[in-house]
Amino acid sequence: MNIPWHIYRSFAQQHFPDVLKPRAKDSHKGTHGTVGIIGGNVGMSGSVIMAAKAALKLGAGKVKIGFVQNSLPMPVLESQPEIMLYTAQQLLQQQDINAWLIGCGMGTDNNACHILQTLSEHQLHKPIVWDADALNLLAKYTKFHTLLNSNHIITPHPTEAARLLQQQTAEIQAQRTLAALNLYQQYHCISVLKGYQTLVQITDTQYYLNESGHAGLATAGSGDVLAGMMVSLLAQGMDCAQAACAAVWLHGVAAEILSLQQIGPIGMVATELIDAARQLRNQLLMTDN
């Protein structure tokens, strides 16, 4: 199994140079940012847990989950006790979050809607990744439209994009470049149209077409892991455009690495991407292979 680290490194150097920045020797956990992740309604706690693990292992200093539930579904995350657990209402009171992710497994009930409104109104100038049910609420209620800005990233899959643009999924897929541009122009933020060859619309005239990854990524929770990686890079100080593109690329390359180890494409699961992405990030920092 030969993993072409040098090819990955030179691509990253050219397109996402911040991914290759080593940690400062005198850095501490505060330097690497605090991530806040809101979502995980009853029965969907797994989605925010996957996102949180991805955020932590991609290098964020601290990761906090706010479950959209009346009480915590578990007192501690046995498999990752480093992650701090709150209800969404408690997490929204915290002032130390550098970047937010909202929507994974969040549901679209009144409580979820209220939480999205509170976050987007009060944390307007912090980076926010809007994923999954945050996008479904965005599509449903026009009141959210004015709350998006250039600090924000939306990450729809084709059906979420169809809801946002009031089209059919087939229409989105037939004209993906146009759909990504429409998302950017209608929602005024970086727009990541997921699926085979994910498109990231960065400005009116600039987009990134991702070619890493494969169909093994079409598995439950893979988008949650991507969103966790993206918010981690944001919390570590990367700008929105680079964080969006770099996360999409790293997520795809993590899948390629797993396939080279015969852990995919078939049967590869979302959580397996996380350690592969961590290995990749560290390999990119090395210069001797």
Ligand X SMILES: NC(=O)C1=CN([C@@H]2O[C@H](COP(=O)(O)OP(=O)(O)OC[C@H]3O[C@@H](n4cnc5c(N)ncnc54)[C@H](OP(=O)(O)O)[C@@H]3O)[C@@H](O)[C@H]2O)[C@@H](O)CC1
Ligand Y SMILES: Nc1ncnc2c1ncn2[C@@H]1O[C@H](COP(=O)(O)OP(=O)(O)O)[C@@H](O)[C@H]1O
Q: Which tokens belong to 217?
A: 């990524």
What is the C-alpha separation between 90 and 56, in angstroms, rounded?
A: 20
Does residue 105 interact with ligand X by CB under 6 A?
Answer: yes
Does residue 213 interact with ligand Y by CB under 6 A?
Answer: yes
Binding mask 117-136 for ligand X (x = CB under 6 A): ---------------xx---
Does residue 133 interact with ligand Y by CB under 6 A?
Answer: no
223 annotated as a binding-site residue:
yes
Of 121-129, 144-152, 173-181, 190-198, which part binds ligand Y (CB under 6 A)?
190-198
- Reply yes or no: is the peptide bond before residue 265 cis, omega within 30 of 0: yes
For the beta carbon of residue 49, count every other beta carbon within 10 angstroms.
Answer: 28
Exactly one of 9, 53, 62, 157 binds ligand Y (CB under 6 A); that residue is 157
Beta bridge partners of 128: 100, 152
What is the C-alpha separation between 282 and 98, in angstroms, rounded?
A: 23
Does residue 216 interact with ligand X by CB under 6 A?
Answer: no
Beta bridge partners of 208: 200
| Contact set for ligand X, span 148-187 (CB under 6 A) | 157-160, 169
Pairing of strands 199-201, 207-209: antiparallel
CB nearer to ligand Y: pick between 134 and 240: 134
**Longest Cα separation, the chain:** 54
197 annotated as a binding-site residue:
yes
What is the C-alpha separation between 130 and 149, in angstroms, rounded?
A: 11
Q: Which of 55, 94, 68 is nearest to 231 (CA)?
A: 55
Q: How far is the CB of 49 from ligand Y (least distance, A)?
A: 12
Q: How far is the CB of 288 from ligand X (least distance, A)?
A: 38
| Contact set for ligand X, span 218-247 (CB under 6 A) | 220-221, 223-224
Scan for tokens 């400062």, then name that residue.
24
CB nearer to ligand Y: pick between 9 and 157: 157
Of 38-46, 58-66, 116-124, 223-231, which part binds ligand Y (CB under 6 A)?
223-231
CB nearer to ligand X: pick between 137 and 246: 137
DSSP class of residue 92 equals: T
Binding-site annotation, residues for (6S)-NADPHX: 105, 157, 224
